[in-house]
């Protein structure tokens, strides 16, 4: 049986990931593909609870603790949501996944890269996204864009140097997985980015048609 497509979206804060995800969701729906849209942290009751802790919990924590909790939630998410959807032939669109753990807990917070690789292997086995769209943006531009009325979360309160390291880690992942991770220059206009996304949707459609 043909497995559905697993697509993840990653991005620097302020890079417009959420806006682009909404557009992709609507655009992919027009192709007649059955979609499951989900997110991390989140996607299950445990994931949503941990999201609250991750973004708004005030207590100090170790990056290893964060990564362990992210992977515990990821295990539930994979077993209950992602694998069943893929096995049913659905396209899973996930707002952040394991690349974010490398970027934030290792790149940003200094956890050992190899430890995350161990957790990734343990929890995911052979499950990896087919395609990851990484919206790349210089931190100072992202911060200026996302400065909004709402209270910044724990990550948004970090300094620019933290986000420089997050970005470097995303780019390292992209270098290690050049076929899976597509770097999208998010400093361009929405129209230009949409044109690129449209091209990606058409490639997905023709791959599906010929598969």
Residues at the contact surface with ligand TMP, assessed by CB under 6 A: 39-41, 54, 70, 95-96, 100-101, 104-105, 155
Is 59 or 211 the residue whose CB approaches ligand TMP more closely?
A: 59
Residue 79 CB, nearest approach to ligand TMP (Å): 17
Structure tokens at 76: 């539930």
Q: Which CB, 154 or 195, lies closer to ligand TMP?
A: 154
- Which residue, 88 or 190, is less far from ligand TMP as judged by CB? 190
Residues 6+ apart with CB under 8 A from 33: 5, 90, 91, 208
| CB nearer ligand TMP, residue 30 or residue 148 | 148
Residue 179 CB, shortest distance to ligand TMP, in Å, is 22
CA pair distance 194, 24, nearest whole angstrom: 9
Cβ nearer to ligand TMP, comparing 38 with 105: 105
Task: Report CA 4 to chain centroid distance, whole Å.
Answer: 18
The residue assigned the tokens 């993840």 is 8
Question: Any idea which residue has 């302020």 for tokens?
Answer: 14
Residue nearest ligand TMP (C-beta atom): 104
Query: Helix 160-176 crosses helix 139-146 at what angle (to 10 degrees)?
Result: 120
- Minimum CB separation of residue 11 from ligand TMP in Å reads 7
> Do 188 and 17 touch, CB atoms closer than 8 A?
no
Phi, psi angles (nearest 5°) of residue 43: 85, -20
Residue spans of beta strands (DSSP E) within 62-176: 91-95, 131-136
- Enumerate residues 6+ apart whose C-beta is below 8 A from 42: 48, 51, 95
Q: How far is the CB of 6 from ligand TMP (least distance, A)?
A: 15
Closest contact distance (angstroms) between CB of 205 and ligand TMP is 27
């Amino acid at each position: 049986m043909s497995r559905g497509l697993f697509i993840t979206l990653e991005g620097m804060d302020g890079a417009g990931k959420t806006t682009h995800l909404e557009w992709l969701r609507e655009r992919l729906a027009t192709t007649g593909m059955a979609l499951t849209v989900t997110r991390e942290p989140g996607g299950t009751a445990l994931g949503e609870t941990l999201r609250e802790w991750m973004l708004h919990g005030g207590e100090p924590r170790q990056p290893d603790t964060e990564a362990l909790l992210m992977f515990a939630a990821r295990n539930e998410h994979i077993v209950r949501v992602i694998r069943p959807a893929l096995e049913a032939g659905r396209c899973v669109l996930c707002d952040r996944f394991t690349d974010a753990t490398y970027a934030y807990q290792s790149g940003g917070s200094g956890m050992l890269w190899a430890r995350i690789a161990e957790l990734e292997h343990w929890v995911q086995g052979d499950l990896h996204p087919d395609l990851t769209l990484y919206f790349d943006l210089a931190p100072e531009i992202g911060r200026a864009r996302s400065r909004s009325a709402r209270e910044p979360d724990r990550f948004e309160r970090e300094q620019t140097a933290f986000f420089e390291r997050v970005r470097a880690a995303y780019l390292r992942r992209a270098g290690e997985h050049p076929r899976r991770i597509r770097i999208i220059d998010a400093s361009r206009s929405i129209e230009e980015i949409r044109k690129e996304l449209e091209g990606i949707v058409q490639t997905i459609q023709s791959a599906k048609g010929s598969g």
